[in-house]
Amino acid sequence: MMGVVVVGILLVAVVIAVEAIAGRIRIASPILMVLAGIVLSLVPGMPKVHLDPEVVLVLVLPPLLYAAALNTSVPAFRANLRPIGLLAVGLTLFTTVAVGLAAWAAIPALPLAAALALGAIVAPPDAVAATSIARRAGLPRRLVTLLEGESLLNDATALVAYRVAVGIAVGAVAVGVGAIGGDFVVASLGGLVVGYVVARVLAWVRAMVEDDLLDNALALITPFVAYLPAEAIHASGVLAVVITGLYLGHRESALMSASSRLVSHAIWRMIEFLLQGIVFVLIGLQLPELLRGLGGYRSGLVAGGTLVVIAAVILSRFAYVFPVTYLTRLIKRGHASEPGPPWQVPAVISWAGLRGVVSMAAAFALPLTTLDGAAFPQRDLILFITFMVVLVTLVVQGLTLPWVIRRLRLPRPDPIEDALQEAQGQEAAATAALARLNELVEQDPPPPGVAEALRENAEYRRLAAWERLGAERTGRGHHETPSAAYRRLRQAMIQAERDEFVARRDRGDLDEEILSEVNRRLDLEEAALVRETAGGEGEEPIRAALASERRGPRSECPHLAEVRDRAVEPSTPEGCTDCLREGTHWVHLRLCLSCGNVGCCDSSPRRHADRHHHASNHPIIRSFEPGESWRWCYVDEILV
């Protein structure tokens, strides 16, 4: 027992150290975790640590998927459901068959059913690695949503295919299209139903729980409450967990108190961090055991089979993603009038197929024998090949993915557009809050000064978001908005308050229980201040986009005079001119003040306003959204 505890503490220590190193050298931590596990496995005296597939599939996978689903945008998921389905279901099955046939051809003694089991094992990309790298590299949010949605759902497809292929290989499942299709339907529909029912029941229960401790205790068991019943009826437990997480995450603000949400976010971040790190280190630790299992194989067979499968895993993703990206538009529209995305989009999606935890767990879950008592065909070779697929895709594709994203010049999320959306939302929220305040004050007037203080606070929050768009130099020698100064000074005041409370506790003038409650209130306020600062990344991305040495203040923009008194008629008042012609959609609209062209914003898929500027050199656009009048100069890159 003591040995298990020591190994567990060692793994946690390794995870913490590797995470710290990964943050400094800006490499995705899953890559370094696997490499650290390999290095650790070569240390003399290191005890053998076996990767238990039941532990991974039952205890690790559900909470990881649930945490990812909680943070997934349901509207974005719903808007991209078709491409997500094509990746999560279509690509997973295509990869299973393509890799299975390639392995069957390359490894003479491998039966087709066992080869397809190998294909299903390596088919699903990891739910963590690719999206974490993509976000850090600045991949457009829609592509991150596609990769995130794929990773949430493809495990369900792969595990059902794996179950069928393994059943055929051991003689437990009869070969037949009807039987295989029936398994898929039962697993999918069962997972959907169980996930929805569990989500509705838990939402009802948690809405009545007011204690933060009980609420988060219920949250901790939620993924297992969804997973285990689904698996018990041979449905997809993975799909049940995802549906539950999406539903509860979407309704989080209505189901949980503010303090409960703060605790919940901290708990799930810690769970994700530890579980992901430990499992990736465990993957690396399996190398010695896998190498021992290859004792009876010819090195040429091992090397050849491994290279063929790795090539099939990587190339099959390209072979599927590129045709599906463009052909589905032809089928959907019946003609080629709707342009597809630039080739860089399917290229980066194709290169983002990093494998990980589920693949290794599924490989180790292969049975040792078939029903007739024979050894499972080529089990040790399948285990080694799976390990190499995980290692190569994580290290090679993972390390090069940021470079690929930069080389393909895909547009990064626009900090100006983000700040505009936040400012517009804060403006509307402040208006609604002040209207509600006026209603309540009229019904039951509060003590003097209370309403005024609340109005000042609402005004501060309203202006703070707009200030991020128009940061100007101050006498302190660098950019600092009033709201940033407020946060800086208030944080210093909070620390002074905290120090005084602690000093009074140390002198015996303040009870420890009172100090704990005071500290809790101060911590909540400071957390909100720090969160505002972190949300703006120190406001540097916006300043970088809005200001440079050659850019002047608003009054210095010479292009404004060209359009100041010009009356323009919008080309298509009902929407983006080019989107309406192409049949695509937009997020926000922009009006060219030179010619009246209506184009879509940089958060829209086609970015037609930006394209119009580059084609026409017209300098200034105005927001074409109701109630907005801000203008943007493309040449000077400032709000005017």
pLDDT digit string, tens, across residues 579-633: 999 888 887 899 999 999 999 987 777 889 989 999 999 999 988 887 677 788 8
Residue with tokens 């800086």: 488
Structure tokens at 87: 């990746």
Q: Which residue has the higher pLDDT, 536 or 126?
A: 126
Give the other-Cβ count within 10 Å of 463's Cβ: 16
**Structural domain ending residue among the three candidates 407, 427, 443:** 407
Structure tokens at 285: 């630790």
Q: Is 34 within the bounds of a domain? A: no
Q: SS3 for 495?
A: helix
Q: Please indicate, yes or no, whether residues 193 and 224 belong to a single structural domain of this protein.
A: yes
**Structural domain ending residue among the three candidates 373, 391, 407:** 407
Q: Is 604 within the bounds of a domain? A: yes
The pLDDT value recorded for residue 372 is: 78
Q: Is 584 within the bounds of a domain? A: yes
Q: Please indicate, yes or no, whether residues 58 and 76 belong to a single structural domain of this protein.
A: yes
Q: Please indicate, yes or no, whether residues 497 and 571 belong to a single structural domain of this protein.
A: no
Q: Please indicate, yes or no, whether residues 355 and 460 belong to a single structural domain of this protein.
A: no
In this structure, the strands spanning 631-633 and 598-600 are unpaired
The pLDDT value recorded for residue 337 is: 47
Q: Is the dihedral of CA 512, 516, 518, 522 positive or negative?
A: positive
Q: Which residue has the higher pLDDT, 476 or 639?
A: 639
Q: Is 279 within the bounds of a domain? A: no
> Taking the C-alpha atoms of 399, 400, 406 and 411 in order, what is their torsion angle to the nearest 10 degrees?
-80
Work out the mean pLDDT of the chain and round it to a whole number: 83
CATH code, domain with 201: 1.20.1530.20
Q: Please indicate, yes or no, whether residues 505 and 578 belong to a single structural domain of this protein.
A: no
Q: Please indicate, yes or no, whether residues 629 and 592 belong to a single structural domain of this protein.
A: yes
The pLDDT value recorded for residue 478 is: 46
Q: Please indicate, yes or no, whether residues 67 and 178 belong to a single structural domain of this protein.
A: yes
Q: Please indicate, yes or no, whether residues 114 and 219 belong to a single structural domain of this protein.
A: yes
Residue 251 is part of which domain span? 50-257+304-407
Q: Is 13 within the bounds of a domain? A: no
**Structural domain ending residue among the three candidates 546, 562, 584:** 546
Quickly state the pLDDT bin for 552 (edges 50, 70, 90).
Answer: very low
Query: What CA–CA distance (Å, rounded) separates 578 from 102?
Result: 44
Q: Which of 401, 455, 324, 381 is nearest to 139 (CA)?
A: 401
Sequence-ordered alpha helix ranges (H) in 2-128: 2-25, 29-41, 53-54, 61-70, 74-79, 81-85, 92-106, 112-122
Residue 466 has pLDDT above 70, yes or no: no
Count of H-run helices and E-run strands, the chain: 29, 5
Number of structural domains found in the chain? 3
Q: Please indicate, yes or no, whether residues 527 and 610 belong to a single structural domain of this protein.
A: no
- Stretch 132-152: mean pLDDT: 83
154 burial (CB, 10 Å; 0-12 / 13-18 / 19+) is: buried
In this structure, the strands spanning 598-600 and 620-623 are unpaired
pLDDT, tens digit (0-9, with 9 covering 90-100), for 92-126 = 999 999 999 999 999 988 999 999 999 999 999 98
Q: Is 33 within the bounds of a domain? A: no
Quickly state the pLDDT bin for 539 (edges 50, 70, 90).
Answer: very low
Q: Please indicate, yes or no, whether residues 329 and 443 belong to a single structural domain of this protein.
A: no
Residue 91 has pLDDT above 90, yes or no: yes
Residue 332 has pLDDT above 90, yes or no: no
pTM of the predicted structure, to 2 decimals: 0.75
Q: Is 563 within the bounds of a domain? A: yes
Q: Please indicate, yes or no, whether residues 622 and 504 belong to a single structural domain of this protein.
A: no
Q: Please indicate, yes or no, whether residues 420 and 316 belong to a single structural domain of this protein.
A: no
pLDDT, tens digit (0-9, with 9 covering 90-100), for 10-35 = 889 999 999 999 888 878 888 899 99
Give the other-Cβ count within 10 Å of 548's Cβ: 11
In this structure, the strands spanning 638-639 and 631-633 are antiparallel
Q: Is 287 within the bounds of a domain? A: no
CATH code, domain with 594: 3.30.40.10
Residue 7 has pLDDT above 50, yes or no: yes
The pLDDT value recorded for residue 27 is: 83
